[in-house]
Structure 1
């Protein structure tokens, strides 16, 4: 069912970039980079922000970018800088998050903003029932999930450098406005139920 989202594939034409330019950036900004031009493959999933596996000998990294230059983006959407900042802070605070190596907001390098992080071999657990595992294995995974979520909700976000992260105010209102604009920018035909929904939602926002 999920095979189309698992593993890697050749980089699609619309997402190709200058690998030589990337190589130069890696050598200049990624601590411990072994040198040389990386082999690049694209992950099948995670295409809201295209994600790539970089391999140099036995070393592997993850490149995560904004969509290619031809994409129509909302100003605050696909914010790879936010992803990088939060994961970097959590990694440094001891959470099980991949190490973040470098953030590049200079779009002259690859034609889009991007960041480089550690590649960690693993698997995606699509089915929350965890079929094929023993009761002990499932219990260990659920216990660790609960431990990390509980710890995350106790962290002092200001103390780990995120005091000025995010916006005050009604989150629901901002999301409704953002995705209404996104829908209107990509709509190809008039859909009456969607028009009704866009009119109804702003009038029925939960408080808080």
Structure 2
């Protein structure tokens, strides 16, 4: 590691203190190794070898104050609650709110070996049958999350479902307003203001109350290493709550292109054209299977899909503000000058029934 990487690693973990903590909970080990996982954009992930145990430590970034975006104890709570359900999650080991151990609260879970799909179709899953199974796994697992009896597993106080969807719109309108304080000097996006007005006027008055993942998409699940595709774990639960399941479905669909889309870009960047290959579900097929699995009717699809693009645009606009202020060293951020208006236009196409 470079000196800078070493300094950052030292801020993430006190090795002697972590070793003592794990010894107390797991017994002594002759082999103790820790490596930082470089991926991810929120909480930090450390891989730990403890004799023949492969473990994962999740902690907030150093220097961050505790909030919902970095609340690892919240993440541990939902993982622990889901251990004996139909939702595949990693096996939890232990958690602590004692920040004296490594400098922050953290939790430990067992490490899984599998595939996280980020940059295209894995070679193992390149047949039409495997592509169909991949989509089936994705939508069936989302349905499993939304049909968990959250009260029975101890999550009855995990969120405020009443008014959840209205709060989503309000929150992201505020995020745009914050970003526009700086970005409006570079360019205006009138489409965002039009989209905001439409969303505020069309918030559904009623929705089921379920467990919500908050960021459900391909790169937040892990598949087993071999075909046929099987989801072995849903990851990154830090935004989970009790709320409106259709916000999850709309978000997931925004990452799944269809033939008639104006673009196959998904999220704030990246191309998912491979999801148009033979065998992959259309969005309509995914929705139909979801409705059959949950018993819920996805009646306000225009609202929820437009909301997903609105949220993605809000994330991108915050990136762009940080770029303009010199508070980010990421080649991805300046691309938001064009990408956010694209996302807003895509949302308006959805509203108008063109997508």
Judged with a 3 Å threshold, the aligned counterparts in structure 2 of structure 1 residues 97 and 108 are, in CA distance, closer, same or farther, namely same
| Shift, 1:42, TM fit | 0.9
What is the aligned partner in structure 2 of residue 157 from structure 1?
150
| Shift, 1:167, TM fit | 2.2
Aligned counterparts of 1:75 and 1:28: Cα–Cα separation in 2: 29
What is the aligned partner in structure 2 of residue 18 from structure 1?
14
What is the aligned partner in structure 2 of residue 142 from structure 1?
135
Aligned counterparts of 1:204 and 1:148: Cα–Cα separation in 2: 28
What is the aligned partner in structure 2 of residue 3 from structure 1?
none
User: Which ranges in structure 2 are unaligned for 5 or more consecutive residues?
Assistant: 206-355
Aligned counterparts of 2:167 and 2:31: Cα–Cα separation in 1: 42
Alpha carbons 2:43, 2:70 under 8 Å: kept: yes
Deviates more, 1:155-164 or 1:122-131: 122-131
Counterpart pick for 1:110 among 94, 102, 109: 102
Aligned counterparts of 1:81 and 1:96: Cα–Cα separation in 2: 19
1:77 aligns with 2:72: no
Secondary structure of the residue aligned to 2:70 is: coil
Q: 1:17-56 maps to which residues of 2 (within 5 A)?
A: 17-30=13-26, 35-36=29-30, 38-56=32-50
Q: Output one character per residue of 1:76-124: Cα deviation in whole Å (capped at 9) or x when no partner.
A: 3311111111111112224321001111111111111110001001111
Q: 1:163-174 maps to which residues of 2 (within 5 A)?
A: 163-172=156-165, 174=167
What is the total number of aligned residue pairs between the two structures?
A: 193
Alpha carbons 2:12, 2:61 under 8 Å: kept: no
More helix by share: 2
Deviates more, 1:104-113 or 1:165-174: 165-174
Aligned counterparts of 2:41 and 2:116: Cα–Cα separation in 1: 16
Deviates more, 1:21-30 or 1:74-83: 74-83
| Shift, 1:51, TM fit | 0.5
Alpha carbons 2:57, 2:106 under 8 Å: kept: yes
Judged with a 3 Å threshold, the aligned counterparts in structure 2 of structure 1 residues 201 and 80 are, in CA distance, closer, same or farther, namely farther
Aligned counterparts of 2:99 and 2:173: Cα–Cα separation in 1: 25
TM-score of the pair, normalised by structure 2: 0.46
Aligned counterparts of 1:11 and 1:40: Cα–Cα separation in 2: 12
1:98 aligns with 2:90: yes
Secondary structure of the residue aligned to 1:167 is: coil
Aligned counterparts of 1:94 and 1:88: Cα–Cα separation in 2: 13
